[in-house]
């Protein structure tokens, strides 16, 4: 099967599984929280830039593992690399702030 014939995963499919990964302290999904900064797909390889709510987030390694697991489980994904970045620092949007009682 040629590269063009292989089914590749879509960004929408990746977002759908990321919405199932919940921050264990805030009980909201990481997509809604805005912790995912970028998704790049090249063939069966997926690269994701993400951040944490704080640089010393105790759940950070677990979240990275969950992201890799759910994305790797998608058909067409051969490898997922997660890059944790802190620039720009995470800031809750107004909807998240309202849900967390920060407004």
CA 33 to chain centre: 10
- Sequence spans of domains, the chain: 11-90
DSSP-based three-state secondary structure for 75: coil
CA distance 59 to 102: 21
Are the C-beta atoms of 71 and 13 separated by less than 8 Å? no
Per-residue pLDDT of the chain (103 residues; tens, 9 = 90+): 344 445 689 999 999 999 999 999 889 999 999 999 999 999 999 999 999 999 998 999 999 999 999 999 999 999 999 999 999 999 988 998 888 887 7
Reading the block at residue 73, the tokens are 């489980």
Distance CA 96, CA 99 (A): 5
Q: What is the CATH number of domain 11-90?
A: 3.30.300.130
What is d(CA 21, CA 6) in angstroms, rounded to the nearest whole number?
Answer: 27
């Amino acid at each position: 099967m040629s590269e063009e014939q292989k089914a590749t995963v879509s960004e929408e499919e990746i977002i759908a599984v990321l919405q199932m990964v919940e921050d264990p302290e805030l009980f909201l999904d990481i997509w809604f929280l805005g912790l995912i900064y970028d998704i790049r797909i090249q063939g069966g390889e997926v690269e994701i830039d993400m951040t944490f709510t704080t640089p010393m987030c105790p759940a950070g390694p677990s979240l990275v593992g969950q992201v890799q697991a759910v994305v790797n489980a998608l058909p067409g994904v051969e490898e997922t690399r997660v890059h944790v970045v802190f620039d720009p620092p995470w800031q809750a949007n107004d909807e998240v702030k309202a849900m967390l009682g920060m407004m």
